[in-house]
A and B are shown apart, each in its own frame.
Chain A
């Protein structure tokens, strides 16, 4: 086998491949951040947590037949869908706003109580004492293995929903939570200083991460590579695991698709126009607030999509997003948030630089991106692709 700069070729290419994988996630996440920032002027600090939610959603969908906490999580993730559908349904009925609001809040509170009560520390102990002696209260029984939900799911999806379904459903589920979060929490902040958006989403990220850490611990859950993507290709100079190649290809396709939607379609042109001048676009009769909501939802869905892709590579754990997001922030600063393609190129490029550093000077591999950030800030403060 040949050596390149005194480094065995398989090692070099292996690290470049790892760098490409990391770069794929940097690109997908910074793309979502850029899209959200362009439209909402909010830096979405919860992006890492939503990435993690995507990975967990995939795990929940897979193991919902055999694991009671997976069912609980799934029921929680379905809440926003439930609320949005309820809202939509009620909008067709003649009801006063207050009645409609009461119904929505009441029913979602009921839903939330059913799900959340067992999670409250000590409450299950209290309930077990007060309700029946068979261990756990009624709510625990409802979601327990062998309980009615489990049996129902076992009949409909005997093996859970696999990777391919997750790739579609997890972004939808997590995206709807984003839509609800935008309507309830973020939209009141548009008139204020942008930093409040940062602080709020930071808080949301803490909440999400804390809840998942409570429920699933920090050790991580396994998620198998789907059978279709197992194995490795022999490229002649190295072996390439099929799944890793798949991740890179899908990330590139996804980034290009996002770029095409924004640059080449009608809805994308509305989006770009609203980014430039929301008041004018609204004056043309386009529902800008709804566009903002959907944009946030789409950005969050993109993060969740990346999370599903990441689930088989990294173990699914509550911290998987928060450490990544800080590096993605550096990527965003380096690339500048002005251009979509810019953030994609920067993401992949920095992933490769990181991989190469791991070969040539491993001690610096965790800090190299920040060093690049410092250099870029000194030379081009607006970022490589940014507008000043």
Chain B
């Protein structure tokens, strides 16, 4: 399987962390991202920024799996969408506070990830992608029929509530700060996972699974754990999105959403910590500006897929990192 120019061929050096496990270059990039998050709400439309952050978190969760374990899941929409539905349901029907609803979304994503992952990790490579896609489609059909999703209409007018009972999230800017906080926690969590001893085992599985097995690691357990973490974070992202927009629909569970998150990670750079964020920003911005062209967006997305795979496999962040000779 280890083809030349493997699926996400970042080199395997462990660099010394300067702060929080970031290298110098990563620290600068993180500072830039933080500055953008702090300044942008005063210049851009907060709803757009919140959408971007939700998808950036989703893409980070997805990248944890593809970039660091080498597993291509084509079914992440299931976790994202189900997280959204459950968070919406608990906020609207059960009247739970937003932070708890989002946590429930994450828990549901993780639980679903445990079930799907447990079955899917029996196969590798292409089969893994097909199996996750098939299960996600099953979840989609379930959501079409289940009464609590209210079918085609989706769960509408989900209340944003008050964060910790103190801050009224009805104001877009307050909601934005909470979204940004959750995104940063998720981002740093992914970073921490990747740089932990656990993360090193994951990377060794990506590079050479039989070798990792022969060194005594139960690779299936590690893969399942990574899958559950990734699915849980995707659920958090979905829950956050439904609280922000007050709506959870079938679009978020459909396979096109799985394709979109793959595209975001691919455009940004697989296996780079900042890649998914940049990729999500690019794709969401593109969708925003091209919305009037209708189905041409699909064509353009397809073209970007083809272009990235043929000529641009490192992605934006990967190319920049390669150019500056640093890992981002």
Contact = CB atoms under 8 A, between A and B. Distances in A.
B1 A210 contact: no
Interface stretch (B12-20, B34-42, B120-128): B120-128
Contacts of B123: 333, 377, 381
Interface string A197-211: 011101111111111
A178 B125 CA distance: 24
23 contacts: A189-B309, A191-B3, A192-B4, A193-B6, A194-B1, A194-B3, A194-B126, A196-B309, A198-B72, A200-B305, A203-B301, A203-B303, A203-B304, A203-B306, A207-B299, A210-B295, A213-B298, A333-B131, A333-B134, A373-B131, A374-B135, A377-B119, A381-B123
A185 B303 CA distance: 12
Interface in A350-388: 363, 366-367, 370-371, 373-374, 377-378, 381
A136 to B, nearest CB: 20
Which of the listed residues A188, A205, A333 has the most CB atoms from chain B within 10 Å of its own CB? A333
A199 B305 contact: yes
B129 interface: yes
A24 interface: no
A206 B299 contact: yes
Interface in A202-252: 202-211, 213-214
Interface stretch (A105-113, A127-135, A324-332): A324-332
B7 interface: yes
Contact of A43 (B6, B130, B142, B308): B130
A207 B303 CA distance: 7
A103 interface: no
Contacts of A373: 131, 134-135
Interface string A75-88: 00000000000000
A6 interface: no
Interface residues of B, number: 48
B267 to A, nearest CB: 11
Contacts of B302: 203-208, 210
Nearest to B305: A203
Given A203-B309, A373-B131, A377-B131, A196 B7 contact: yes
A16 to B, nearest CB: 21
A206 B122 contact: no
Interface of B: 1, 3-7, 72, 119-120, 122-123, 125-127, 129-131, 133-135, 137-138, 141-142, 144-145, 255, 259, 262, 266, 293-306, 308-310, 313
Contacts of A330: 130, 134, 137
A195 interface: yes
Contacts of B134: 326-327, 329-330, 333, 370, 373
Interface residues of A, number: 44
Contact of B310 (A200, A329, A374): A200
Nearest to B266: A199
B133 A329 contact: yes
Contacts of A374: 119, 135
A213 B6 CA distance: 35
Contacts of B266: 199
Contacts of B299: 206-207, 210-211, 214
Nearest to B300: A210
A214 B296 contact: yes
Contact of A209 (B72, B125, B145, B298): B298
A204 B298 CA distance: 10
B231 to A, nearest CB: 16
A53 B246 CA distance: 38
